[in-house]
């Protein structure tokens, strides 16, 4: 059952009589206050003692009483109308929640149907439901992700016939449709169709020809996911943590010009073909420890604002030309095959380190410790050197002092 939106929480109810009494009291206090202010502004004239009661004064008093009674009646009518509107809105909201729950349940049930056309109908029903209920879009995306996380066996392309193989082909079309729905609504190009602030959880999912190019998501979890065919994340934006740990990319993995605002974890990931990270912006730490690159790993022009961890990574061929390393760069134990290019790399000479608290036996022994190693560790004979004296050690728009990579030979 979908969770309630924040504005769906029950409100504190006050009885009708108390509402009327409070409003009348406020009106009396306001009238007395206005009268007192007017008396003060008029110079506080003396209040004369009442003389003989005349018929004219009786008539004026009756008019005042009628005006007060009429005003009180108007207040009561206003309160009653307001409460009637509240009750009507609450009933309408309950009806909307009930209708959403019915449609959501029906569409979710369709995803479990045996026939592929029924499952496709369920996907399109969920998409239409998300269009009309923005507060429940994350819930619907969670259902789509859960479907893609279900166990999946691809069709055997060498087998042209067979009932089981036909069922697998149909299931592939259903999964491709679910992927297309996600991609279509996570691209900010079309403001009317864009679903903002969405988290994706595709842990352990099997994704075929997955396309999130130019998409924008909040947090994304692809741990242990298998990407069959091309995986397109070019120009994607990740506003939260992005996790691709132990993921497998069987085809081209294109992250070119993507932007990671928070940490990006690719530890233990396997790239069988070209892995393109050209011009990627890593706004925080980027972890590629123990990752394997079976073909070209292109990090040319990549910007690592935080720590760059490539400990134990395996490269067949790697390009890091024109890359910038703003945090500690670690290539300890990394293996390089045919070629590794690091031309034009800029490295921050004073990378920031995050302090941490050290405890011993439950007691704080150091509130400002720096366990992180501050020295860069680049492969082979590459060392970080200060810029020539005639050159500026700064980098436009970036703090700190910046040097270059050079061969120690």
Rounded (to 5) percent helix, strand, coil in the chain: 35, 20, 45
In angstroms, the CA 16 to CA 11 distance is 15
Confidence (pLDDT) at 307: 94
In angstroms, the CA 287 to CA 274 distance is 18
In angstroms, the CA 102 to CA 1 distance is 10
- What are the tens digits of pLDDT across the range 127-158? 999 999 999 999 999 999 999 999 999 998 87
- What are the tens digits of pLDDT across the range 276-333? 999 999 999 999 999 999 999 999 999 999 999 999 999 999 999 999 999 999 999 9
**Would you say residue 378 has pLDDT above 90?**
yes
How many residues does the structure list for the chain?
409
Confidence (pLDDT) at 394: 86
Q: Which whole-number Å values give the CA distances from 339 to 205, 267, 295, 317, 368, in the listed order?
A: 33, 22, 11, 5, 41
In angstroms, the CA 288 to CA 309 distance is 6
pTM (predicted TM-score): 0.76
Confidence (pLDDT) at 18: 64
Q: Which whole-number Å values give the CA distances from 102 to 67, 94, 130, 278, 345, in the listed order?
A: 52, 12, 14, 47, 58
Residue 48, judged by CB atoms within 10 A of its CB (0-12, 13-18, 19+), counts as: exposed
Q: Which residue has 């004296």 as its token pair?
A: 389
Confidence (pLDDT) at 7: 46
The tokens for 370 are 């720096």
- What are the tens digits of pLDDT across the range 42-89? 666 665 555 566 666 566 656 665 666 666 677 667 767 766 776 666
**Would you say residue 214 has pLDDT above 70?**
yes
Which of 29-38, 225-234, 265-274 is predicted least confidently? 29-38
Looking at every residue in the chain, the average pLDDT score rounds to 84
Give the CA angle between residues 22, 28, 31 to the nearest 5°: 140
Q: Which residue has 């009661």 as its token pair?
A: 53
């Amino acid at each position: 059952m979908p969770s309630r939106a924040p504005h769906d929480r029950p409100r504190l109810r006050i009885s009708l009589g108390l509402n009327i009494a409070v409003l009348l009291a406020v009106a009396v206090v306001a009238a007395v206050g206005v009268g007192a202010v007017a008396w003060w502004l008029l110079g506080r004239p003396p209040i004369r003692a009442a003389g003989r009661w005349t018929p004219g004064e009786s008539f004026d008093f009756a008019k005042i009483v009628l005006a007060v009674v009429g005003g009180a009646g108007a207040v009561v009518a206003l309160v009653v109308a307001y409460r009637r509107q509240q009750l009507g809105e609450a009933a309408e909201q309950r009806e909307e929640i009930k209708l959403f729950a019915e449609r959501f349940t029906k569409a979710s049930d369709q995803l479990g149907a045996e026939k592929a056309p029924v499952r496709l109908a369920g996907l399109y029903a969920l998409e239409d439901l998300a269009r009309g209920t923005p507060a429940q879009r994350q819930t619907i995306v969670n259902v789509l992700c859960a479907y893609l996380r279900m166990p999946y066996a691809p069709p055997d392309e060498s087998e042209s016939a067979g009932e089981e193989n036909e069922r697998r082909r149909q299931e592939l079309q259903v999964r491709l449709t679910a992927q297309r729905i996600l991609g279509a609504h996570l691209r900010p190009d079309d403001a009317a169709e864009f679903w903002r602030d969405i988290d994706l959880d595709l842990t352990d999912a099997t994704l075929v020809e997955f396309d999130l190019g130019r998409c924008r998501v909040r947090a994304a979890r692809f741990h242990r996911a298998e990407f069959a065919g091309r995986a397109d994340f070019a120009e994607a934006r990740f506003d939260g943590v992005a996790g691709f740990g132990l993921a497998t990319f069987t085809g081209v993995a294109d992250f070119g010009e993507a932007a990671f605002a928070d940490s990006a974890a690719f530890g233990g990931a396997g790239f069988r073909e070209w892995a393109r990270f050209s011009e990627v912006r890593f706004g925080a730490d980027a972890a590629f420890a123990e990752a394997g690159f079976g073909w070209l790993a292109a990090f040319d022009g990549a910007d690592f604002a935080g720590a760059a961890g490539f400990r134990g990574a395996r490269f067949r061929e790697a390009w890091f030309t024109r890359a910038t390393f703003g945090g500690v760069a670690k290539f300890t134990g990394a293996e390089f095959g045919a070629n590794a290019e690091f031309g034009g790399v800029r490295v921050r000479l004073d990378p920031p380190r995050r302090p941490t608290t050290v405890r011993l036996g439950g007691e704080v022994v150091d509130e400002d410790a720096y366990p992180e190693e501050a020295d860069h560790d680049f492969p082979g004979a590459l060392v970080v050197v200060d810029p020539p004296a005639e050159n500026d050690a700064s980098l436009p728009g970036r703090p700190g002092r910046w040097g270059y990579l050079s061969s120690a030979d």
